Copies of this chain bind each other. A is one copy, B any other.
Amino acid sequence: MTDAEKERHHVVVVGGGFAGLNAVRALRRAPVRVSLVDRRNFHLFQPLLYQVATGGLSPADIAAPLRSILKRQQNVSVLQDEMLDLDPLARTVALRDAVLGYDTLVIATGASHHYFGNESWTELAPGLKTIEDATSIRARLLGAFEEAERCDAAEREELMTFVLVGGGPTGVELAGAIGELARHTLRGEFRRFDPRQARIVLLEAAERVLPSYPPRLSIAAERSLRRLGVEVQTGVRLAALDHRELTLERGGKTEQLRAGTVLWAAGVRAGPLAALLAQKTGVELDRQLRVRVAPDGSLPGHPEILVIGDMARVEGRDGRPLPGVAPVAIQQGRHVGRVLRDRLSGRLPPAFAYRSRGNLAVIGRAAAVAELGPLRFSGYPAWFLWLFVHIMNLVGFENRLLVFVQWAFDYFTRRRGARLITGEITRPARRDASGG
């Protein structure tokens, strides 16, 4: 680094997801030097994570190395490291391996699962946020079918019950994909039972699935889910969870349900750095621990610290907080570029304004729902739109091509190409070890 470079305005971006990566890219022509810090060496295309969890895609199909994406952007240096501490007065962040000084700090480390005080459920009902979550859920799902082939009929019923807690987009996508797995992909592969017997239960506390979508689309989604054999239960809440034993609450009454696999899709909250920011700068957090930022995305009293993506609480024109989805994060990332350019040339940056292009959720093969401005549609057209948007947004040409080949193949054969049970093999021996 030359002295002239050292004197340049230094932007430290923490987190290489949709928000952070787009912030870095938006700074490619700005007179700044950028350090991008991420614990992982790759950018993850989270909207397709449920495909990895159900064996449709490989992890590398939806992840691209940050270095490779940013290879040609000479003003950025990528560090695989983790932010541990912040000194807002000295303007430094402590990483595991170094201390970095910053002129502007951009925090974009996203969200994790929210169990609303029931943190003991983490192991019993895992959520889906990382590649490791996805491969471990994949091992659980496929492992349940493997175990059902070994065990007796009584235990099989329990093993073949899969419960999804939460009927938002993630719960709907996962339930649909498990339905396809059981009814189509695995059909004919077992000798002692029919995988189509699997019971897939989607629980939603509100009166309909996809409660943030227009009612017409919720109805279309429920119909598609039922066609895949998914049992949709609305107006029901998970009150207690023990090993394989669920207590459900519906209209003041409780009931029991036994299930071999329970997955969590009921809520997220900002990651642990939000608490650090609150402690060090006094910024307020909302109930989901998101940081209440100023209209331009900065912290009140600390214009040099910006928070973007799922960790930020920003209100839309209707006064409701913007949802934690990729388009919001991408636009916030781009806004960082605008903010810095304006500030460096002495102008006041504008407030962030989200331009929604619509909402999309997929249920399965040729089944999706879409809200596009005044249009609401479902079925084939929504599914093609979903496919197009997601494949076009995958970073890297090769990823797009591979995913397209895999999907085209899956579509015609209903096969899933990445059905591996990997990782530690920790399976307890059954009580009675003399089957046959």
A401 to B, closest residue via Cβ:
B405
Assess whether A39 is in contact with B420, with CB atoms less than 8 Å apart: no
Which residue of the partner chain, among B68, B100, B423, B434, contacts A99 with CB atoms under 8 Å? B434
User: In the complex, what residues of B have CB within 8 A of residue A68's CB?
Assistant: 189, 415, 419
Distance between Cα atoms of A188 and B80 in the complex (Å):
17
Q: Does A372 sit at the interface, judged by CB under 8 A?
A: no
Distance in Å: Cβ of A151 to nearest Cβ of chain B:
8
CB neighbours (8 Å) of A397 from chain B are 409
Question: Is the beta-carbon distance between A63 and B420 smaller than 8 angstroms?
Answer: yes
Are A422 and B59 interface neighbours, CB within 8 A? yes
* Copies of this chain, count: 2
Bound complex: CA of A409 vs CA of B61, how far in Å? 14
The reply on A131 being an interface residue by CB < 8 A is: yes
Q: How far is the CB of A263 from chain B (nearest CB, A)?
A: 20
- Are A417 and B435 touching (Cβ within 8 A)? no
Judge if A430 is at the interface, Cβ distance under 8 Å. yes
The answer to the question of A294 belonging to the interface, with a C-beta cut-off of 8 Å to chain B, is: no
- Bound CA span A59–B191, Å: 27
Assess whether B59 is in contact with A61, with CB atoms less than 8 Å apart.
Answer: no
Complexed CA–CA distance, A78 and B80 (Å): 42
Q: Which residues of B contact A131 (CB under 8 A)?
A: 420, 422
User: Is B99 a contact of A436 with CB atoms below 8 Å?
Assistant: yes
In the complex the two chains form, is B78's CB within 8 Å of A149's CB? yes
For the complex, give the distance between the alpha carbons of A415 and B71 in Å.
12
Task: Give residues of chain A (145-182) contacting chain B, Cβ–Cβ below 8 Å.
Answer: 146, 149-151
At the interface, yes or no: A184 with Cβ under 8 Å from chain B?
no
A413 CB, nearest partner CB in chain B, Å: 8
**Known A406-B402, A409-B398, A409-B401: A80·B421 in contact at CB below 8 Å:** yes
Chain B positions within 8 Å of A405 at CB level: 401-402, 405
Give the complex CA separation of A59 and B142 in angstroms: 16
Q: Are B433 and A190 in contact (CB under 8 A)?
A: no
Q: Given A146-B41, A189-B67, A189-B68 in contact, is the A420-B60 Cβ separation under 8 Å?
A: yes
- The residues of B that contact A146 with a CB separation of less than 8 Å are 41, 80
A94 to B434, CA, bound (A): 8
Contacts of A40 in B (CB 8 A): 421
Interchain CB contact (< 8 A) of A71 among B98, B99, B188? B188
A404-436 interface (Cβ within 8 A of B)? 405-406, 409, 413, 415, 417-423, 425, 427, 429-430, 433-436
Collect the chain B residues with CB atoms within 8 Å of residue A409's CB.
397-398, 401
B406-A190 in contact (CB<8A)? no
Set of chain B residues within 8 Å of A427, measured between Cβ atoms = 96
Interface string of A374-394 (1 = CB under 8 A from B): 000000000000000000000
Which residues of the partner chain B approach A433 to less than 8 Å between Cβ atoms?
94, 96-99
A234 within 8 A of partner (CB): no
A77 contacts partner chain B, Cβ-Cβ < 8 Å:
yes
Given A146-B80, A191-B77, A398-B406, residue A59 in contact with residue B420 (CB < 8 A): yes
Report A213-251 residues with CB < 8 Å from chain B CB.
none
* Inter-chain contacts of A80 with B (CB < 8 A): 143, 146, 149-150, 421
A415 contacts B398, CB within 8 Å? yes
Spell out A's residues near B (CB within 8 Å): 39-42, 58-61, 63, 65, 67-68, 71-72, 77-81, 94, 96-100, 131-132, 135, 142-143, 146, 149-151, 186, 188-192, 396-399, 401-402, 405-406, 409, 413, 415, 417-423, 425, 427, 429-430, 433-436
Could you list 16 examples of A-B contacts with CB < 8 Å?
A: A41-B421, A60-B419, A68-B419, A71-B188, A71-B189, A72-B188, A80-B421, A94-B433, A96-B427, A96-B430, A97-B435, A98-B436, A131-B420, A399-B417, A401-B409, A402-B417
